[in-house]
Chains A and B, each alone.
Chain A
Amino acid sequence: MNPRLGFKLGWRAFVTRSGVGGGRFLWSSSLALALGLVPLVVVLSIADGMIDSISSRTIETLLSHEQAWPVTLNADQDLQEKLSKVAGFRAAYREQSGFGLAYSQTARLGVTLRGVEDRWAGDPGVRRFLSADSGTLVFPDQESLWVGREASVRLGVKVGDQLKVLTTRTGGTLRIPRVTTFTVRAIVSVGYQELDRLWVFLPVETSVRLLDPLQNPVFFGIKSDRPLSETPAFLKQVREVLGRNWQVYSWQTTGRSQFLNYQATRFLLLLVMALIVLVAGINIATSMVTLVRQRREETAILKALGASVGLVRFQFLVLGLCAGLLGTLAGIGLGVLAAVEINALAFALEAVLNGFSALRAWLMATDATFVHLLNPAYYLETLPVKFDLALLALVAAGSVTLAVVASAVPAFQASRQRPIEVLRRV
């Protein structure tokens, strides 16, 4: 078999525009494949972007790259010095986390109390994601608080307001409540309302006095400049230098359920989108069956002129390959374009929908209902996009392979065709 001739025959058939048997008949299948790939690429890149964005925020502002929990008293005496020997170590901050009930003059809210060092807000990773809507990220005294944006809205407080916090500590067999009055020094946000809704920051020196040391022990949040992919290596080195006096966990453990949840959601989205692509693949197979039937005469001519079974089969596989390549390139190209412009597209769609809503309200003389597609109450305020090039390449390869596989049975049928059966009928 001459593969070059097979490519030539398949390619020419694919680009021919003329009537019955013209390969452009397959272009609609390519379009269907492309339309199946566009949402896959968009959803995948947004899911990756969101996971990456939320993960980075969560790691830098909540979990830290690693958490070191002391096993013995005074275990933290030389922690900073030991960690400074580990490649990629950025900083370690004393932290404490617990729950409390915050109440202002107008509202009450269960909050997560984050006891942090003053210098924690100056960490490059924290500065990258945590910003003050108002006020400054310093604790001028021990009764200072930074309140998450959404929590401040719910509590109805602003910078300079007083906020009371109810905490409990264990005293023997009793739980002893304690109310402390704080001054709000900053309203903070990480741009992710799941976090902004609940948290309140206070000096770790204060949290140590308020929170139960047994239920809410002080730990060290360790920050790293190494890529997240190097987490296991970093963890190993940290454990080695800190020794047995510390229990060290990486963000992969402390945020395990959260990250597993993200990955499961991503996988399910990918699966649903892959089903659309699979349907497009079946569409290619159906179109190929029709095309093989339409090109019976051309196949008969080729076989009458001496074309081998393999060449005829290869020609139709090339046709499927061309359809797959066209659909894949168009689908991934359009998908990447749509993903890059997803925020503009969402705003444009929002404007159009709201325009229709306003028009309908005007015509019906009723109140308009406006939609807010990128509602920060549910998502990040803008949709982040991240392209996993390796995965995109895998999707592209899978899509093209699907098209070729979908063409295999029709190609086999074409190759078994006896020219005499067609020539006799002409």
Chain B
Amino acid sequence: MNEPLLEFLRVTKEFRETAEPVVLFRDLDFALQSGHSVSLMGESGTGKSTFLQLAAGLDTPSSGAVLLGGREISSLPEKDLNELRAQGVGLVFQFHFLLKEFSVLENVLLPAWLAGTPRVKATKRALELLEQVGLSARQGHFPAQLSGGEKQRAALARALINDPPLVLADEPTGNLDERNAALVQDLLLRLVVDHHKTLLLVTHDKVFAGRTDLSYRLTAGKLERS
């Protein structure tokens, strides 16, 4: 079997801000093979988003190690972490998090600019992705001029602009109505397959979770296959 793309080795995450430390998970092991799509479910507050943020290098474990492509990211210096966020992972949040002062095309291009991708090449790919998410006609519009579904589709395109091997999606449809949620779900899963990406999806939606290769449930700090 190939080396996992994403691996958690005895990862513990606890918060010590309160008098009584809150332990989200202790000595957690997890492996995600390249090309697979995995969903993570669980009740609110169980640490699903934190799990995802650890995978993205946005947060650090209290102990243990998070490996991406065999490289331990939990102790990387800031500069390398920036590089990892720009090129190693594609992030989709529950809220679109598009920059309001930039057009749709520019928002999609932003990670490419941060990664230093040549302008022409980046623009060509951004236009292709916008076409794939059905926003070609809206490329010059600003986020305030888009619907919730359109914003999330733009965020999907942005997550893929740098061709990252891993896509991390944190309840990407949690803020959308049923019709738009279905549209974004279809699009996300299709893009992941078309672009040969590995997907780690956090969702409350059982149907959406059921469409991934593997599904886990995070309960009381433990990961269980569901």
Residues of chain A whose beta carbon lies under 8 Å from any beta carbon of chain B: 2, 5, 8, 12-13, 15-16, 18, 21-23, 297-298, 301-309, 311, 419-420, 423-424, 426
Contacts and interface: CB of A to CB of B under 8 A. Distances in A.
Nearest to A307: B114
A306 B53 contact: no
A53 B159 CA distance: 68
A306 B101 contact: no
Contacts of A298: 99-100
Nearest to B94: A426
B133 interface: no
B79 A305 contact: no
Interface residues of B, number: 29
Given A16-B101, A423-B53, A304 B78 contact: no
A305 B100 contact: no
Contacts of B110: 302, 305
Nearest to A5: B113
A423 B79 CA distance: 20
Contacts of A22: 101
Contacts of A304: 56, 58, 85, 91, 97
A18 B93 CA distance: 22
Is chain B's interface secondary structure helix, strand, loop, or mixed overall?
helix
29 contacts: A2-B113, A2-B114, A2-B116, A12-B102, A16-B101, A18-B100, A18-B101, A21-B100, A298-B99, A298-B100, A302-B114, A303-B85, A304-B58, A304-B85, A304-B91, A304-B97, A305-B86, A305-B110, A305-B114, A305-B158, A306-B84, A306-B114, A309-B78, A419-B58, A420-B53, A420-B58, A423-B53, A424-B53, A426-B93
A304 B164 CA distance: 14
Contacts of A2: 113-114, 116
B131 to A, nearest CB: 22
Given A423-B53, A423-B93, A13 B115 contact: no
A416 to B, nearest CB: 10
Contacts of B53: 420, 423-424
B99 A301 contact: yes
Interface string B61-90: 000000000000000001100111111000
Contacts of B99: 12, 298, 301-302
Which of A298, A303, A304, A309: most chain B Cβ within 10 A? A304
Contacts of A8: 113
A426 B86 contact: no
B87 A13 contact: no
Nearest to A19: B100
A302 B98 CA distance: 10
Given A18-B100, A298-B99, A423-B93, A306 B116 contact: no
A306 B111 contact: yes
A18 B158 CA distance: 22
B144 A18 contact: yes
Contacts of B208: none
Nearest to B170: A423
Contact of A306 (B49, B97, B115): B115
Nearest to B84: A306
A311 B59 CA distance: 20
Nearest to A8: B113
Contacts of A18: 100-101, 144
